[in-house]
Chain A
Amino acid sequence: MATEYAFPEAGAKTPPAEFETEKMSLSMGPSHPSTHGVLRLQMELDGEVVTSVDPVLGYLHRGDEKIAENMTYNQFVPYTDRLDYLAPLANNMAYAIAVERLANLEVPERCQAIRVITAELARISAHLMGLGAFGIDTGAWTVFMYTFTEREKLYKLFEELTGARFTTSYTRIGGVSRDVPEGWNDRVVAFCDQFLPILEEILSMLTRNKIFMDRTVGIGVITKEEAIAYGLTGPNLRGSGVPMDLRKDKPYSGYEKYDFDVPVGSTGDCYDRYLVRGEEMRQSVRIVKQAIKNFPTGDWYAKDARKIFAPPKSKIMSSMEELIQNFMIVTEGPQMPAGEVYFEAENPKGALGFYVVSKGGGVPWRLKIRSPSFCNLSILPKVCVGAMVSDVVSILGSLDFVMGECDR
């Protein structure tokens, strides 16, 4: 006698009584292709349905905040590369601006423009990586190949500008480490021009892709209220329909001069977060082009930052005063006033904040890093419950986190 069973609907939190089964615990990660680094999810499953998730963090914890308390402000710049290591240039800028607010330093327009260009290129590079990995998570290998080809071109530009492809350490307190090389801006514009059609091609591989849509539309829905309550920022918050973008709301580094749109999603599912990232890359290209079109002349470091910024190398080698100045900067660090500042920058992953508490002198008393990936991941225990195991992979891909930044 065959019994009629009703299959549980996808997303059902409790299965029908006749499907009552023993719960299974599954540890996903810390070395799992879809956890993008070293995140471990301790999940409890009822068949294919997730009933609880406990993210286990800390596998990449290096104690960056402790290290910061033990070195001068400029010495910490290379450590910021290793937060969100997919967009080191943007981290460099956020840290530099936080310390400049503490020192009450104004950097010249040219420096601001250089920083904006590098931060937006970093955003493109980070989103390319995010989309490529998201594609792989959902079964679209080709996208990754395309995005990596474009990222390689960007890394060539970064290498030319900073001397490093990955860990750039480009900013200094009060400026950047060197001016843009001759012709670099033209090569950036050339990159942008050839990038736009390729971006359309990349996005067209996913946007109307049946498999991709089946795996992302309506999956991992985060409402507006949830997103704000859980402190989500960046594309994940905007994907839920909150038009918060610190570049627009609290402009820094001259962002108020550029014309760009802030894309927002409507339902807050994985697909919306993907669409927001795609559009943000187009907007970043717009910003870069405007910045280069009106590229200011003049200094690329703050003139009144003599106690902070090392003199030119040629001067150090030939002039006693500059040699002493350089020595003081290296040994004692830039001298900061006592006080505290909190600065958040709109990074590719969200709002990267630095809370600097100074007692004066060359070393911060306390430096707290507010990492967007950490906050974005904190919603996992809520959003994954009731999803299928394969949906968890989509959700992780759409949240686009970096463990280097999350664990610090």
Chain B
Amino acid sequence: MPATTADLTSALQQKFPQVSPRASLDHEAVDVPTADLLAILETLRDAHGFDMLTDVTAIDWAEGASPRFVAVYHLYSTANHSYIRVATPCTGTDEAPTVPSVTGLWPTANWHERETYDMFGITFTGHPDLRRILMWDGYPYYPLRKEFPLAGIETALPDPEVVAETGVTAKPAPMMGGPFVATCGEMNLTEAEPSAKDESWNENREKPEA
């Protein structure tokens, strides 16, 4: 793999000098500037045989990181049987990151980008139908952002009529002081052990109001 992958990056760099290789443990990977994303993906599709867009997603590097949100595209070539990963930083603010939409190049990007918008709040400019896809319309949060708690946040149900009638809300997951996960890098192993970290509530005692 190494010989051909280096060729691909340098071939790309000849046309787009802004492309830089990206650290990767498996496939060829490049970092590209947001402004050139569409042109580079189109070149990869038309000149290098990457005809299938298998995945679009994003990474949230947490508050304070710059850039905080990175959009990641995985392309596959059905002829050459190889993958390439293309990553681009999102522009805009941390609250409202944006990236150009690739729906014009691959129709499959439509749903992938809707999902990424739904989970991270990244706006794909030029997307024909940017609505939530997994969460319901009108849901106020972006669940895969790092500041969103695992248990969830209490919100109103999707249907206002039902809410008015019953007063029922979508409650955080009853995890009894969870999540029950290990703390990595903790030297005190008793602290590191997966256990209820918040003991102020349990089966018999309600979770205190936030």
Contacts and interface: CB of A to CB of B under 8 A. Distances in A.
Contact of B25 (A231, A340, A375): A340
Contact of A378 (B26, B72, B111, B144): B111
Interface string B67-107: 00000101010100101010000000000000000000011
Interface stretch (B3-11, B12-20, B32-40, B179-187): B179-187
A220 to B, nearest CB: 17
A331 B136 contact: no
B126 interface: no
Contacts of B189: 327-328, 331
A102 B194 contact: no
B135 A58 contact: yes
Contact of A341 (B26, B115, B150): B26
B108 A230 contact: yes
Interface residues of B, number: 48
B24 A340 contact: yes
A215 interface: no
Contacts of A67: 150
Contacts of A365: 59
B182 to A, nearest CB: 5
A342 B184 contact: no
Interface residue range, chain A = 35 or more
Nearest to B180: A71
Interface string A81-110: 000000000000000000001101000000
A363 interface: yes
Given A228-B52, A340-B24, A374-B111, A355 B134 contact: no
B51 interface: yes
Given A67-B150, A72-B181, A327-B189, A370 B24 contact: no
Contacts of B72: 355, 368
Contact of B107 (A328, A351, A357, A382): A382
Interface stretch (A26-34, A144-152, A187-195, A242-250): A242-250
A70 B55 CA distance: 23
A10 B20 CA distance: 53
Interface string A226-252: 001111010000000010100001100
Interface string A367-378: 010100011011
A337 B24 CA distance: 12
A372 to B, nearest CB: 10
B194 A331 contact: yes
A357 B184 CA distance: 16
Contacts of B154: none
Given A230-B107, A331-B194, A355 B184 contact: no
A332 interface: yes
Contacts of A339: 23-25
A244 B78 contact: yes
Contacts of B192: 331-332
Contact of A331 (B25, B76, B144, B182): B182
B51 A228 contact: yes
A156 B23 CA distance: 45
Given A228-B51, A331-B192, A355-B55, A57 B133 contact: yes
Given A250-B81, A368-B72, 16 more contacts: A61-B134, A75-B181, A101-B26, A229-B106, A229-B108, A230-B107, A332-B184, A333-B184, A340-B24, A340-B85, A351-B54, A363-B182, A365-B59, A366-B59, A368-B55, A370-B57
Closest 7 CB pairs of A and B: A231-B108, A58-B134, A361-B184, A249-B81, A339-B25, A378-B111, A370-B55
